[in-house]
Amino acid sequence: MVGTDMSWESLEKWSAWIFLVTGASMLIPSARSAIEMVTAISFSGIITGLIAFIGIILSYIGLIGLFPRLTDKTPRLARAGIVLFGLPVILILVAEVLFLEGMLPAPVIVFSSIFLLFVLGTASFGVASLRSRVPSLLCI
């Protein structure tokens, strides 16, 4: 059990840094799109898409590390955030199963729902962290 506690504390300690890396990785596809619109330069979408995907995975890891601190101070908001943040994963799995069975879900509805749930979950965690006044370990 001691090893588990230490790894959990390590995840809690690094969650703020993980969010910084996540934010930077989410800016890269946006910067690519802006550069492509302004100039005639075209970049590979595969690399920036991969960077954005890694950023999304890191955001889940960061939120898992942040969740225990937030449930002490704002349990309802933290639980709502984890549910809203988990629903896109479930939606992706359901869409994949439907796709494999030959029923094609509307991509616009699936992707916009995933994006909306991801944003609502992230916003819920943001409000919970602002209301809980949990000191950030980023400053320590």
How many angstroms from the chain centroid is the CA of residue 8? 19
Domain extents for the chain? 2-132
- What value, to the nearest 5°, has the Cα angle with vertex 83 and ends 46 and 75? 130
**Is the predicted pLDDT of residue 4 greater than 80, yes or no?**
no
Mean pLDDT of 108-116: 79
Full-model pTM: 0.62
- What's the pLDDT tens digit per position in 76-103? 888 888 888 888 888 888 888 888 887 7
- pLDDT above 60 (res 3): no
Share of the chain above pLDDT 90, in %: 0
